[in-house]
Amino acid sequence: MANDKLRLFRKIIVVFLKYGITYLCQRVGALAHRWTYKEVSNPKNVVILGGSFAGIPLAKRLTETLPTGYRVVLIEKNSHFNYLFNFPRYSVLQDHEHKAFVPYTGLARGAPRGIFKIVQGLATDIGDEEVELKSGGRIRFEYLVIATGTTQNAPAQVLSTEKEDSCAELRDMQGKIRSANSIAIVGGGAVGVQLAGDIKTFYGDKRVVLVHSRDQLLPNFGKRLHSYVIDKLEHLGVAVMLGERPQLSRAAGPMSLAFKDGGSQAFDLVIPCTGQTPNSSVLSSFGPDAISMKNGRILVKPTLQVQFHDKPSSKGYHIFALGDVAETGGPKMGRAGLMQAEIVRANIASLIQGNSKLKSYDPDPLEGALKLSLGKSDCVMYMDDKEGDNFLIPVKGGKEDLQVAQAWKMLNASMGAS
């Protein structure tokens, strides 16, 4: 594993040199943009649906680059940015849940006046030139970007759209976990694995069973990671059952699970951590052919423009999709959303300038790098390489709140702000 560190360090140095120069150029460009952008009375809207890990970096970059006459309109159903990475930990650890909800108020701090607007609402339908909201309102757009992500079971997500109610949901899960003696977690993806490890390290006396339908945990990654995680979980005292697909309800609660050998086990608490549903329904009327019949994701071209099959080429060119809701060919990770955001930004800039030559998205292995917490004080970094190689690096220590301050910094917010 020491060799893994050295090999990965070499790759990171190359990437750092490549993107470090790009980042410096972006900062210089953003500074110049502040002085050249002028507020106008009726700007054309670049509308982004969704203010999460793909929509946020895109909104920030557009506020640094859009020319005079255009502005960013971010439509987001939640009152605060939901830092989903920490939801499993804050479903177990008490008195930290409020940190997972970051205000959007600082997002455009330092940007030119008039270039950014945020609207709290849910987009339900789109047309060629406007978005319809659940409230009945309509917002016109020159360009539209769909970054609506996916829907998952609690505790991967919450149902509420307001911070206080969302915190209450996480506290409710904390209470259920605290009062249960036997807990089954169904689903061996990242959320299920992290939740199992956290429960067992913060409540060592509880019986914790992780149930997974396949023969490999974290099936989107290599078997080396599976073996490492299995060993860590068993060392913590988490029982792992593979190849089991018990019937269960969507809500967490007490339940008896039936297994394929004919036996069953009763648990004080069963927590479903299975599956993701892409939030692509906003296209169901305007472009149903652009929604994959296989997985419900939005089909996109390499340029990340939505792939409409039943519209002339002059229509739909101004609509993009990225992140977990889109079938991009890249990993479903926050880092991938960041890279895709820059492709979309560059292509919108080209279209505004009348340039039809657009950039294509080519996933980089670093976008799929995973940092997975395995209990209170352990985590592992893992990455698959294009050449079929992989990197696995154990990491010790870290804060109980999982370095949530980085999320607040990303949104230019001060920790503790409402």
Mean of pLDDT over the chain: 92
Residue 279: name the closest of 271, 267, 291, 270 by CA. Answer: 291
pLDDT over 90 for what percent of the chain? 79
pTM of this prediction exceeds 0.85: yes
Kindly tell me if the per-residue pLDDT of 147 is higher than 90: yes
pLDDT band at 250 (very low <50, low <70, confident <90, very high): low
Q: Which residues pair with 48 in a beta bridge?
A: 74, 145
DSSP 289-302: GGB-TTT-PEEB-T
Q: Quote the DSSP letter at residue 395.
A: E
**What integer is the mean pLDDT of 330-338?**
93
Which CATH fold topology does 2-86+93-154+276-365 show? FAD/NAD(P)-binding domain (3.50.50)
**What integer is the mean pLDDT of 237-250?**
90
CA distance 42 to 39: 9
Burial class (CB in 10 A: 0-12, 13-18, 19+), 294: exposed
Query: pLDDT tens for residues 384-401?
Result: 887 778 899 999 877 899
Query: pLDDT tens for residues 19-40?
Result: 677 778 888 888 999 999 999 9
Which CATH fold topology does 163-275+369-410 show? FAD/NAD(P)-binding domain (3.50.50)
Domain ranges across the chain: 2-86+93-154+276-365, 163-275+369-410
CA distance 222 to 232: 16
Judged by average pLDDT, the poorest of 61-65, 238-242, 386-390 is 386-390
3-state secondary structure of 97: helix
Residues sharing a CB contact under 8 Å with residue 187, sequence separation 6 or more, in sequence order: 211, 212, 272, 273, 274, 275
Residue 99, Ramachandran bin (φ over 0: left; ψ between -120 and 50: alpha; else beta): alpha
Q: What is the largest CA-CA distance in the chain?
A: 71
CA distances from 176 to 42, 130, 205 (A): 51, 43, 15
> Which residues in 289-385 belong to E strands, given as ranges?
298-299, 319-321, 326-327, 370-373, 378-384
**What integer is the mean pLDDT of 217-238?**
96
**What integer is the mean pLDDT of 121-144?**
96
Kindly tell me if the per-residue pLDDT of 311 is higher than 70: no
| pLDDT at residue number 181 | 97
**177 vs 19 pLDDT, higher one:** 177
For residue 365, how far is the Cα from the chain centroid?
17
Domains 2-86+93-154+276-365 and 163-275+369-410 share a fold: yes
